[in-house]
Amino acid sequence: MTLAALGVPWTDLRTLPLHTLLDGRVAKLVAGQLLRSADRRTGAPTWFWVRDTPQANAELDYLVVGPAGLLPVEVKSGASGTLQSLHQFLWRSGTRVGARLHGSGWGDEQLEVQMGGRAMTYRLLSLPLYLAELVPALALP
């Protein structure tokens, strides 16, 4: 119904890849709905994070509470895209594990990025968008 209200023809839903619809906004919508359905079962809330300063804005799509604590989640419609907001959150919070929901396969990797003039190493867990509902149950070390 949301897509119909936005003028997306139903035929596009059947023929176009998810990442092309509304420039990825559908991916965030789908991920949010799946995370919310998991929230209803566990009772844990899902949050988001915004850093709004004159120097730089950052918006993290979701903060999920799970067995491992707080897990920052960034949603990308395709297989690529920058994770600048995720990096900002990790750097400011001291958390060293983040997740990406995207239109590609599964991955678990150690990444190093430059933040504040220093190197920051963190673990990035990448999951296909359709597995978003499982994110709150992840017990990451």
**Rounded Cα–Cα distance for residues 72 and 74 (Å):** 7
Residue 4 scores a pLDDT above 60: yes
Structural domain contains residue 93: yes
Average pLDDT over residues 9-22: 65
**Rounded Cα–Cα distance for residues 72 and 60 (Å):** 7
Structural domain contains residue 15: no
pTM: 0.78
Task: Give the count of domains, the chain.
Answer: 1
Domain carrying residue 72: 22-137
- The whole-number pLDDT of residue 121 equals 95
Structural domain contains residue 7: no
Q: Give pLDDT tens digits for 74-121.
A: 998 766 668 999 999 999 899 999 999 988 889 999 999 998 889 999
Structural domain contains residue 17: no
Q: Give pLDDT tens digits for 16-60.
A: 665 565 556 677 888 888 888 876 666 677 788 888 776 667 888
The more confident residue out of 60 and 12 is: 60
Structural domain contains residue 14: no
- Looking up residue 132, the CATH number of its domain turns out to be 3.40.1350
